[in-house]
Structures are given as C-alpha cells and as structure tokens.
C-alpha cells in the first residue's frame, strides 16, 4: 500500500511508535538553494517545477533527525554530506554517478546509509533530456531522482515485507519504485503542487500497469 499525505514530516513521524518503519529512504533539503530559479544557469526554460520558493534554503534541524532515527530501524539519507553533524559514522555510503561529464556540476550525489556494508555505486546518466524516464511525465521537481535509482536501492537494501518511510516525497519517484517492487510506503510532501504532481505520476504509472 502506498500512503501519501500533504503535511509536515514532523507531524507525520510523531504519529508512529519507535522503530515502526523498517527503512527510511529520504531526500531532505541540502541547503544549497535548489528552490531558486537561478539554481542552474543556461538552458533551463521557465517551468513550474522550478518556481521560486525557499524549500531548499536550509537543511533539517536536529529534532528532525532524532525523530527519523526514532521511527525507523535503518536509514538511507540523500545529501547527507551536507548534514554530517547529525549523523553517525558509516562506511556504507552510496554514490550515484550521474556521468554528467567534464563541467562545473558535481559528478554525482552521496547518500548515508546505516547499513554495515561497503560503499556502493549506482550509474545512471541524469542530465538534460535524459532527466526523464520512458513513459513518465516531464520533470516535476528541480531535484527529481530516477525511479530506477530507488528500485536499485530497494533491491539492494530492503527485503520483501518491509515498511518504507519517505519524509520528503518531492517528485514521487520513490512511490512509483515501491509500487513496482511491492513495498508498503508511507510518505509526505509539504508543498501542495509537488504533492499533486507526485500523486499524478503515481496514478499514471498505476494506470499503465493495469492496462498492460
């Protein structure tokens, strides 16, 4: 079952008992201003998914991380290199290699994991026209991640029957991945427009699955 709500993540987490979720997979704000229309220069055309707002002005506070670690047994946290002051030491990080080439942008993104595993790499070109997947909508969020990335995470870090938590749903890629892989997900998104876009993406995926 996929349960998505339009609310504050702290309000959501406070409803659940300790260790209720087997795995939290979250992509919180990195505090790098990705909500600004000037976040990337050059070829980005005007579109609603990068309207000017302040959602990425700062990282979550200490209270958020205490709640996250309280309600989940294990965690995978994207952008954790921006918030190491709130995290324990881990050797099991994930590196997503975006294969963006020789330019001023980062070569990829990092995710903290609470698992006692070796560092793992996922390769997926994700730039320009490639920042979209077959049969999907156009990008609906400035930091949208591939559905296939979340499927890879679920295959490698989760087991069937686990309950998954996402506190920053964003574009909803994780919801589609959980639906495809058969995992129960509880997720929330505070921004009304991103919430609606995520629901739309999920419904399109589910309708296509039913059709075929």
Segment 24-47, tens digit of pLDDT: 999 998 877 665 555 553 444 545
Judge whether 110 lies within some domain.
Answer: yes
Domain that holds residue 207: 2-39+49-211
Neighbour count for residue 91 (Cβ, 10 Å): 10
The pLDDT of residue 45 is 54
**What would the pLDDT profile of 130-178 be if each residue is shown by its tens digit?**
666 765 666 778 888 899 999 999 999 999 999 999 999 998 999 999 9
Instruction: Using the structure block, give the residue that is written with the tokens 């504050």.
Output: 8
The H-or-E segment that residue 165 falls in is strand 163-166
The whole-model pTM stands at: 0.87
With pLDDT > 90 as the criterion, what percentage of the chain qualifies?
62
Judge whether 85 lies within some domain.
Answer: yes
Taking phi first (over 0 means left), then psi (-120 to 50 degrees means alpha), and beta for anything else, what does residue 192 get? alpha
If one counts the domains in the chain, the total is 1
Judge whether 44 lies within some domain.
Answer: no
Give Rg (Cα) of the chain. 16
Q: How far apart, in whole angstroms, are the C-alpha atoms of residue 108 and residue 113?
A: 16
Is a pLDDT exceeding 60 seen at residue 15? Answer: yes
Neighbour count for residue 102 (Cβ, 10 Å): 5
Judge whether 161 lies within some domain.
Answer: yes
For residues 23 and 57, the model is more confident at 23
The H-or-E segment that residue 200 falls in is helix 192-211
Judge whether 153 lies within some domain.
Answer: yes
For residue 30, the domain's CATH number is: 3.40.50.150
The pLDDT of residue 142 is 81
The pLDDT of residue 206 is 85
The H-or-E segment that residue 209 falls in is helix 192-211
- Report the range of poorest mean pLDDT among 53-57, 69-73, 84-88: 53-57
What contacts 24+ positions apart, CB below 8 Å, involve 181-185? 181/151, 181/154, 181/155, 183/154, 183/158, 184/1, 184/2, 184/3, 185/1, 185/2, 185/3, 185/4
């Amino acid at each position: 079952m996929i349960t998505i709500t339009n609310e504050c993540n702290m309000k959501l987490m406070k409803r659940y008992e300790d260790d209720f979720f087997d795995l939290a997979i979250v992509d919180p704000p990195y505090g790098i201003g990705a909500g600004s229309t000037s976040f990337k220069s050059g070829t980005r055309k005007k579109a609603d998914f990068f309207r000017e707002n302040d959602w990425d002005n700062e990282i979550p506070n200490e209270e958020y991380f205490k709640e996250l670690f309280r309600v989940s047994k294990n965690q995978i946290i994207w952008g954790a290199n921006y918030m190491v002051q709130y995290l324990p030491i881990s050797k099991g990080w994930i590196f997503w290699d975006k294969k963006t080439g020789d330019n001023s942008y980062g070569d990829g993104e990092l995710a903290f994991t609470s698992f006692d595993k070796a560092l793992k790499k996922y390769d997926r070109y994700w730039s320009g026209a490639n920042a979209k997947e077959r049969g999907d909508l156009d990008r609906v969020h400035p930091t949208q991640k591939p559905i296939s990335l979340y499927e890879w995470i679920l295959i490698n870090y989760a087991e069937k029957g686990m309950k998954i938590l996402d506190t920053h749903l964003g574009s909803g890629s994780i919801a589609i991945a959980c639906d495809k892989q058969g995992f129960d997900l509880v997720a929330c998104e505070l921004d009304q427009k991103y919430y609606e876009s995520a629901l739309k993406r999920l419904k399109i995926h589910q309708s296509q699955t039913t059709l075929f």
